[in-house]
Amino acid sequence: MSAPRTTPERVLAVIAERKLSLELGTLDLCFLVALHVRGDAAGLTAFNEAQLEDVFAQASAAVAPDADQLRRRATHAIQRLRDQRLLSRVDGQGVVRTGEFALSRLGTSIVQFFLEEDVLTRETLGLLTHSLQVAIAGVLDAARAAQTPAAWQDAVVGPLRVTIAELVAGIERRQRGLDAQQEEFQSEIRRLLEADWFGAIDRCQDLLESTSATLRELNEVLLRDTSVLLALLQDIEDAAVAAGEPDGEAAAHRVMDQVDRIAAWGSARQRAWSEYFQYVHRYLRDVVRLDPTRALMQRLRDQLAGVGRRFSLAHAAAQPIRLLRTVAPLPERPPVVRPRAPREREPEADAGEDPQAVLDGKVQRALGGGATALSAVTGEVTGELPGPERFVEAGRVAEAVARLARASADLERPWVAVGDDLVIEDWALAPGAAAPPREGAA
C-alpha cells in the first residue's frame, strides 16, 4: 500500500494553526550567511557563544558599521534566530555551561538560496543525470531479482522513494537556482543599460549569449538523458505490474512524473528565453543603437510635458462593412377580427339536484331514525360540515324540522351544544311525526 500523501489543504492548515512565520532583516541574513561561511572555512560544525558574537560583529560591520552595543545586539540576534528555529543549540547542557549552536536545516537552506550554490550547469546536470541513470539501473536489476514483497520494499520501493527522488529533487532545486539567476540577468541587463546606455550593448549581448548557450546545452542534455531515464523507469513499472506490486508501480510512476517535469522545464525555459532574447535584441537594435546619446527619451519627455506644438497621429478608420440582412417575404397574415359568438345563450334544462330536497331528505332520515330533539337532527345532518357552514346549515335544518315534524318547546328553551363549535336552542320533537319528504328529495 502506498504511503498517504499530504494534501496541500492539510499542510496549509498545519501552518496556519501553528502560526508559522519568518522575519529576517538584512542583518539577520548577513549573520546567517557569515555563520555558514565561517563554518565552511574553519571546518566548524558548531559555534560557541563567543564565536557567535564574533561572527555577528563581522556581519554588523558590513550592514551597520557605526552601530554600538554589539554584545547586546548579538544576544538579540541570536535569540531571534533561535526563536525562528534557524539556529539550534546542539550541546544539550542547558544552564550547566555556555551552549554550542549550529545552523538548522532551515537556516542552511536559506543561506544556500542566497549563496546560489545550487545553480544548474551542464557539468552538474550531466553528473546528476548520470548518477540517476546508474541508481535507476541498479533498482531495475533489484526489481528483476526481487521475489518477495519484502524484497520489493527494501530494494525497489525504498530506493525509488528516497534515493532516486532525492537525486531528481536535486536537479529540480538547481533548476530553480538557474531560474533565479536568469531573473538576475534580466535585472543586470537593465542596470547595465541604465549605467552605460550605448556602451552596455556588448556586455548585454554577452550575457544573453551565455545564458542562451547554457539553456541550449541543458536542454540537449535533458532531451538526451530523460528519454533513457524514462525507459528504465518504465521497465521498473512493468516489472512491478508483472509481480503484482502496486507500491513499486506507484513509486516508479511518481519518479517518472518528476523526470517528465524536469524535461518540460528545459523546453519551457528555452522557449521563454528565446522570446526574451529576441525582444532584447530588437530593443538594442531599434532603440539603443538608433539613439546612442539617449537624446530621444529626453525629447519625448519634453514633448509629453508640453514643449513644442501639439500634434495628433493620423490613421485609417474605415467603417465596418455593412452586412445587409437577407430580405425574406413576410407571410400573409389574416386580418385581425373579433370572434363572432351569440351574445345570449338559449336556456338549457339543468338536471342538477335541488339542495332543499336533499336537506329535507337528510332531515327526514334523521327523524325516521328516531331523533327526538332538534339538536339530534342538527348534529346528524351537519356533523360532517366545516364550522362556518354548520352555522348556516343549522338554520336551514331548524326550518326543515319545523316543516317536517311536530316540535314543541317550553317558554325557556334549553341551549344544547351540537359538536364543539355550535350551540342551539333545542326543541323536543314528537316521535313518528315526520311528514313525507317532498318530491325530488334523496
Enumerate binding residues for another protein (CB under 8 A).
186-187, 189-190, 193-194, 275-276, 279-280, 282-283, 286-287, 290-291, 296-297, 299-306, 308-321
User: What's the closest the beta carbon of residue 293 comes to another protein, in angstroms?
Assistant: 11
Shorter beta-carbon distance to another protein: residue 224 or 299: 299
Sign for the pseudo-dihedral over CA of 330, 331, 332, 333: negative
Cβ neighbour number for residue 323 with a 10 Å cutoff:
6
CA 83 to chain centre: 32
Q: Give the C-alpha separation, 299 to 321, whole Å.
A: 40
User: What's the closest the beta carbon of residue 9 comes to another protein, in angstroms?
Assistant: 28
Shorter beta-carbon distance to another protein: residue 113 or 185: 185
Shorter beta-carbon distance to another protein: residue 325 or 340: 325
Q: Give the C-alpha separation, 43 to 133, whole Å.
A: 33
Q: Give the C-alpha separation, 208 to 276, whole Å.
A: 9
Shorter beta-carbon distance to another protein: residue 76 or 289: 289
Contact 288, 201 (CB under 8 A): yes
User: What's the closest the beta carbon of residue 195 comes to another protein, in angstroms?
Assistant: 9
Contact 266, 220 (CB under 8 A): no
User: What's the closest the beta carbon of residue 190 comes to another protein, in angstroms?
Assistant: 4
* Maximum pairwise Cα distance, the chain: 134
User: What's the closest the beta carbon of residue 179 comes to another protein, in angstroms?
Assistant: 15
Shorter beta-carbon distance to another protein: residue 98 or 298: 298
User: What's the closest the beta carbon of residue 172 comes to another protein, in angstroms?
Assistant: 24
User: What's the closest the beta carbon of residue 290 comes to another protein, in angstroms?
Assistant: 8
User: What's the closest the beta carbon of residue 265 comes to another protein, in angstroms?
Assistant: 19
Shorter beta-carbon distance to another protein: residue 113 or 277: 277
Shorter beta-carbon distance to another protein: residue 114 or 279: 279
Shorter beta-carbon distance to another protein: residue 68 or 275: 275
Which residues, listed in sequence order, are joined to residue 424 by a DSSP beta bridge?
A: 416
Residue with cell 536545516: 105
Give CA angle at 132 (127, 138), nearest 5°: 130
Contact 36, 86 (CB under 8 A): no
Q: Give the C-alpha separation, 74 to 66, whole Å.
A: 15
- 8 by Cβ neighbours in 10 Å (0-12 / 13-18 / 19+) ranks as exposed
